[in-house]
């Protein structure tokens, strides 16, 4: 059994080759079609143009660029991600994936336990309180039961019924930049679930670094 923390990987930004200006130039070229002002495009005009459309609330122009992100998170949080309908998803399937070699679980932020591989019910790693122990015991038993069911001839799609929300899943999410702004507004809020904030806050910080003219604003 492997215990890990959640993470993300930006797999691609449409129109981006390492410099945010390329994304902004794409948005400017699309947006200036509305005004037939393509003759005003210069090497650096895209930044002021995107600032202008943001100020005027013309956020639909941001939909011409998109971003793909791969999340590694627990199964429960993946369901929250999929609530955002203006996106495309590809997710690790518990029906077709066979975890006979051992299961990976996500450590929630309220559980104090070290990342690593665990092979026994009573590990040598100290746990600070009973709540941590109860969580560990439950996922250890879930793995034991899953592997036992496989050994008795059940298919992965049948044995998966005993797996908990803490199960690690990988999910790839693609949506346009306007929708990412909406996702950050909801999922970085202090009212959002702690585990999805654990993913989205650092992702939003990274996007503010990469494309500040679009993402450098206060959602809270």
Q: What does the pLDDT profile of the chain (220 residues) look like in tens digits?
A: 999 999 999 999 987 655 556 899 999 989 999 889 989 998 889 999 999 999 988 999 999 999 999 999 999 999 999 999 999 999 999 999 999 999 999 999 999 999 999 999 888 777 778 999 999 999 999 999 999 999 999 999 999 999 999 999 999 999 999 999 999 999 999 999 999 999 999 999 999 999 999 998 653 3
User: How many other C-beta atoms are found inside a 10 Å radius of the C-beta of residue 29?
Assistant: 15
Pairing of strands 104-106, 7-13: unpaired
Cβ atoms of 87 and 173 within 8 Å: the answer is yes
Q: Comparing C-alpha atoms, which of 7, 172, 1, 158 is closest to residue 74?
A: 7
- Taking the whole predicted model, whether its pTM rises above 0.75 is answered as yes
CATH class of this structure's domain 7-70+173-215 = alpha beta
Residue 149: per-residue pLDDT: 98
User: Catalytic positions, please?
Assistant: 187
The confidence score (pLDDT) of residue 21 equals: 63
Whether the CB-CB separation of 188 and 219 falls below 8 Å is answered with yes
- pLDDT attached to residue 125: 75
Q: What is the pLDDT of residue 219?
A: 38
Domain chopping of the chain, boundaries:
2-6+74-80+99-169, 7-70+173-215
């Amino acid at each position: 059994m492997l215990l890990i923390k959640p993470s993300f990987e930006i797999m691609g930004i449409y129109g981006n080759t390492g410099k945010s200006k390329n994304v902004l130039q794409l948005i400017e070229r699309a947006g200036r079609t509305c005004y037939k002002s393509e003759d005003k495009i210069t090497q650096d005009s895209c930044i002021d143009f995107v600032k202008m459309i943001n100020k005027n609330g013309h956020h639909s122009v941001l939909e011409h660029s998109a971003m793909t992100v791969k999340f590694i998170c627990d199964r429960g949080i993946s369901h929250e991600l999929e609530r955002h309908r203006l996106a495309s998803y590809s997710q690790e399937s518990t029906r077709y994936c066979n975890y006979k070699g051992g299961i990976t679980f996500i450590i929630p932020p309220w559980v104090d336990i070290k990342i690593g591989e665990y092979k026994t019910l009573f590990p040598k790693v100290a746990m600070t309180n009973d709540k941590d122990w109860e969580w560990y015991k439950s996922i250890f038993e879930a793995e034991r039961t899953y592997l036992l069911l496989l050994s008795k001839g059940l298919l992965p799609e049948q044995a998966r019924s005993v797996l908990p929300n803490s199960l690690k899943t990988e999910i790839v999410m693609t949506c346009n930049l306007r929708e990412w702004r909406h996702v950050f507004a909801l999922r970085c809020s202090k009212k959002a679930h702690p585990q999805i904030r654990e993913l989205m806050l650092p992702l939003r910080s990274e996007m503010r670094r990469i494309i500040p003219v679009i993402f450098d604003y206060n959602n809270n």
